[in-house]
Chain A
Amino acid sequence: MKPPPAHAFVNRLIALTLLLLVFSGSLGLGAVWMRQEISQAANRGRALEVKMADVERRLDEVNAEVAAAVNPDVLLQQNQAMRLGLVSPRELQVVRVGESPELRLASKHNREVFSVASATFAEGGNAPAFHVLTAALR
């Protein structure tokens, strides 16, 4: 058997060396690219954090301004300045509804179908009073 020529071995060695160089070069470039990406991602993250802090700060600012604007004293001043004439109601102006509005509306809408009757039982003295409602089909 004839031994392989020496230059063929040298060529293979050179090829392998070149391959190794390309591979290690790619690894190096990959590492640099990855570091660059990490750096950019970190900077983007930091920028977002700064932005969020800024938004929160502005939100606090707005909240404080809203709170100051709805302060009862300020609202009263606005009421006077804008001549709105808004005043809190007095007891004389208030009509209190004693009966249940739902029952009243129900009986109004269904008066052809049901007859609603109510009765109050009071024993007098300290005994409690009862208000009884009955609904019957006509």
Chain B
Amino acid sequence: MSKGFASNRLSLLAVGVLVCFLSVGVRLVFLQVVDRDELLRFVDRARRQIVVEHARRGTILDSRGNLLATSRSEITVAVDPWALTEYLDQEKNPARRARRAAEEAAKHARLAELLGLPLDTVEKAFTPAMRAIKPENDTHDGVVDGQTRDRWVKLREALDEPTFDRITALNIRGITHERIYRRVYPGGGLAAHLIGYLNKEGSPVSGAEHHFDLYLRGQDGWIESEKDGARRELAQFRSREVAAQDGNDVVLTIDSVVQHIIEDELKLIAAKYSPHFATIIASDPMTGAILGMANYPSFDLNNYSKAPLDTQRNYAVTDIIEPGSTFKIVAAGAALNEGLVTPQTTFDCGLQTIDYKGRTIKLPKEDEVFGQLSVADIVAHSSNRGAAQLAMLMGEQKFYDYARLYGFGQPTAFGLGGEVRGMLEPPSRWDGLTISRMPMGHSIAATPLQIHMAMSAVANGGVLLRPQIIKEIRDSDGNVIRAFGPEKRAQVLRPGTAAQLAQLLTGVVRVGTAKGFDIPGFEVAGKTGTTQKLIDGKYSSTHHVASFVGFFPASRPEVVLSVIVDDAQVSGGTAYGRVVAAPAFKHIAEQLIQYLHVQPVTPATRNFLAMQGGVR
């Protein structure tokens, strides 16, 4: 071999090595410089992932800590039939492959049983199939034919965790799942109008779910990390992590048992009188806390989609009625508060007309014939003419001012359920008869809650409070982060006047329109109401709103209770408040006395509290 040949070979090798290095260098330049952005995007797509951590929605509780609304996980079970095929194809031995297939088939039978589905349905789901997709998206199987493998065949929705655990234990090839959180209402229809619900998309629709959504919903978190080829997270490559903030718990003022008692009573009323609607409200007069509020008709929160919209209305705040005789507390309270009358002051309630400001006004009709009645008797026997004369003593403006002070014609700021303000026109828009008709609860419209809160003001020493539905907000660890106390709206009456009126209202059940509905020892104070309904612009003689609104014990009020029944069907008679509403009031009150440990009033405490104006 010549020396020149060896030298040439070395040069050739050196050039070859140089070319190799050069090509590697060029490739590196392409990878690192020219195609850098595109490749980085590809890597990002392939490896980086952002996982959203959903915040848990807070629960809604009653005042005693009972769950009214919570979230629970539900599982949608699906099948990837191609995963089973791929698993079987891995086994080349026909005998072993057949054995594997037989084992899986046996599991499918058990799966069908657990899911409550026919075996045919399950077997069909495990049969590989193709589905159509847009050709531009057909990049998975290398063939652009607008068809791709269907890897998600839904088998069953809303599966509970224990059943899913049993399915997982079967270790079935091709089973896949998706976990979602759904809102559940353990009480079913309990306090449906107050709690409200979340729709299928998870948006709050009504009630506390809607009104307190800001507190309840929490804030989602997220994790930025990388994933491997099997799409499992590589936790060591987590670069950023923002923890989810769970929603706060909302504690309502209602008591599940009180709510249940009044809902049970509503069912009885509905069965007996088939009303258009009925509302019962119970509250604590000293704080304005709503202990229970229920309407008929109602609905089941867990099946809200099947409930007609009419049943989802909270009639207590969305509908207005003429308050009728329950409104007489305005005239009586105002006249007493102004010092124009005493309980013993008498009026001639037999008069058919009366002179007022130079005009002769026809007084309203009475249900029975009265003569001279004291203010106490006017309240007890619900004299329309007596109430009209009390209002006339004050004059239009003063009477109107008191009606406003009692909360009529303005929203109570209850918050839930689309509250309306009612109707109370100023005196400038009254006709000549209004001063004689409004004191008996005509020419005015109010929501059941407004009527209830007006009576609550009498029970609470003359203070009108905002109805409270929320007691406190707790964080996810159970710490109270905000508590809600009573909110005073107005001082309607002096405490002494309120206590005096409360005592007059006890006459209603002792000797008046609701005689016989007293509960011995518990001093029921209340007012019946029977309003003719306005139908086609005329007062109907067959359609009425019956009500009984009151509280007990009169000298130490602990519960305010309203029963309002719209258009009750009473066979062969009129749906008077004493016939329809007062018995329900008494029945509920007897149960609440036991449940809330209301103590009877002894003569000593009665005198002492009467001196204090009834305020605790």
Contact = CB atoms under 8 A, between A and B. Distances in A.
Question: Does A pair with B?
Answer: yes
Interface of A: 35, 38-39, 41-43, 45-46, 56-58, 60-61, 63-64, 66-68, 70-73, 88-91, 94, 96, 98, 120, 122, 125-129, 131
Chief secondary structure at chain B's binding surface = mixed
Given A45-B235, A129-B607, A70 B73 contact: no
Contacts of A57: 72-73, 161
A37 B238 CA distance: 15
Contacts of A56: 56
Interface in B522-536: none
Contact of A67 (B67, B234, B607): B67
Nearest to B189: A73
Contacts of B72: 57, 60-61, 64
B105 interface: no
Given A71-B187, A122-B604, A91 B236 contact: no
B580 to A, nearest CB: 23
Interface string B73-108: 100000000000000000000000000000000000
Contacts of B161: 57-58, 61
A71 B190 contact: yes
B594 interface: yes
A11 B590 CA distance: 107
Contacts of B603: 129
A-B pairs, top 4 by smallest CB distance, nearest first, are A67-B186, A42-B235, A67-B67, A129-B604
B611 A46 contact: no
B425 to A, nearest CB: 41
Q: Range of interface residues on chain B?
A: 35 or more
Nearest to A94: B594
B298 interface: no
A67 B185 CA distance: 9
B591 interface: yes
Given A88-B591, A126-B611, 9 more contacts: A42-B235, A60-B73, A67-B67, A68-B187, A71-B187, A72-B190, A73-B187, A91-B590, A128-B604
A90 B594 CA distance: 7
Interface in B37-68: 56, 66-67
B600 interface: yes
A46 B227 CA distance: 13
Interface of B: 56, 66-67, 70-73, 160-161, 184, 186-188, 190, 233-236, 238, 256-257, 260, 519-521, 590-591, 593-595, 599-600, 602-604, 607-608, 610-611
A90 B256 contact: no
Contacts of B608: 128-129
A94 B595 CA distance: 12
A43 B225 CA distance: 12
Q: Is the interface of A mostly helix, strand, loop or mixed?
A: helix
Nearest to A39: B236
B236 A42 contact: yes
B260 A43 contact: no
B610 A126 contact: yes
B190 A46 contact: no
Most chain A CB within 10 A, of B67, B238, B256, B590, is at B67
Given A64-B184, A64-B186, A72-B256, A128 B607 contact: yes
A64 B74 CA distance: 13
Contacts of B593: 91
Nearest to A129: B604
Contacts of A35: 236
Contact of B236 (A38, A60, A67): A38
Nearest to A68: B186
B257 A72 contact: yes
Contact of B600 (A61, A63, A96): A96
Contacts of A41: 236
Contacts of B594: 88-91, 94
Contacts of B73: 57, 60-61
Contacts of B607: 125-129
A72 B610 contact: no
